[in-house]
Amino acid sequence: MQTTSTRECWIIVYILGALLLLAVMASCYLAHRKWVVVYEGHLQRAHSRFTYLQAKGIRCKVKNSTDPSFYAEGMVSMEQQSTGKVSVHKGDVQRAYDLLSQYKNDVTGSAP
């Protein structure tokens, strides 16, 4: 009698573990879909745009998206070829695009 109840307990534990794993995977997937890439380019330029958008109240994040194998040969320096991505929360995408269209004028101080 004890072996049957022990076996049933383990089955329940495995089912709960699988459900927990599925919940974590779904949460990660949904969290990833909340962000939209609005700029990809040189890392310093990406960081500059990130700082600009953040100062304007946009929910954003910046990420180095350079493939590490690019530097394997050591032929180029990281500063010269690093690329970055600026991602914006999906609720702020249109406002971010509007602000990025004004970015050059705001940073350089020149009129359109």
Its pTM stands at 0.63
Best CA proximity match to 86, nearest among 70, 104, 65: 65
Total Cβ atoms within 10 A of residue 86: 28
- pLDDT tens for 39-55 read 999 999 999 999 999 99
pLDDT of residue 72: 60
- pLDDT tens for 64-103 read 987 766 656 555 555 557 889 999 999 999 999 999 999 8
